[in-house]
Structure 1
Amino acid sequence: MPDPAALLALDARRSVPSRQLGEPGPDPATLQRMLASAVRVPDHGKRVPFRFLKIAGDARHTLGDFLAKRSRQRDPHAGEAVFEKDRQRFSHAPLVIVVVASPRPDPKVPEQEQLMTAGCVCFALLQAAQALGFGAQWLTAWMAFDPVVQAHLGLVEGERIAGFIHIGTAKADVPERERPDPATLLQDWTPPA
């Protein structure tokens, strides 16, 4: 049975820049509701190749201090503005959920499929946050790929950060942006001669 409301919710999805997210964030029950929706993703073999880390309260600032220090180690000449930007990255939204991709060796489920499952979780979490009245943004940046940061966050060998999902209350409406025309992206496949 068609569900126009579900399509409208997908069509209304917008990323709210993390700098425009503030209090209040979701309470524990609301966060659990978001996560319950976020885990309903395609998952070949039911591998559940993902997990979550919650960064909230003072932990956001502690992580920011660590990132500023790590940024300075990576490039001591980057400048104070860069170090301060890294220090503030997690200080805007009241909640950041780290979606950790945890692929497991499986001859029937390639790693790429498991990584895509973790990516689907990121998207579903954005949708769930918006459905519950919050703004959200999926970010990565250098720290998602830095092994020192990954270790600091407790990732184990083989795990990766699929995304930092910043969640809070939008301080302002986010304007629509231009989207690709799907008609220009679709083509008929024909077998080679």
Structure 2
Amino acid sequence: MSETYTSGLGEGTRRFIAVAGLLAALSGVAILVWPGHAWKAITVVMAIYAILAGLVYVIGAVVGKSLGTGGRIGHGLLGLLYVIAGCFAFGQLSRTAVFLALFVAVMIGVMWMMEGFVALFVLSTGESSAWNIIFAVISILAGISLVSSPLWGAVFLWWLLGISLVVLGLLNAFRAIFSKKKA
């Protein structure tokens, strides 16, 4: 009889995995049912982070004794930029959420294209060049499609994330709940 990963874990760890799986599934449902609100919630978290990080940089610039003059000025300016960006994100929540979605889609598209080109450049070093070519072509085409239509790409990736969170979260929770303890 094969042993599952969760069967060897303690009860507290299994509960944590079950709760984390259920939270992931609920997050996925929120993404699928309220995609705009879920993206805005992520934008709020990022705006809060930007403001807090900015305050840390500004405080560090004021009280940091190990920083020279240039370091203090740089930290202070960077902190102000973070705070301004965070405040702008709060003031223009919908626009910032759309910008972030488009930015993420374009960045993923660029990374996929780069990954495809790298796979083509290393063809001579690998033994399985057919698989490398297939991977490279698919990766480049997927990247081009995201970059050429970032809004549709962002929507697709958002739905894929929501579905993945629901399915994988529930599977993780069921795996933790229904696995038997190791005897």
TM-score normalized by structure 1? 0.29
Give 1 or 2: higher helix fraction: 2
Structure with the higher fraction of residues in strand conformation? 1
Work out which of the two has the higher radius of gyration on C-alpha atoms and give 1 or 2.
Answer: 2
TM-score, scaled to structure 2: 0.30
**Which is bigger in relative contact order (C-alpha 8 A, separation at least 6)?**
2
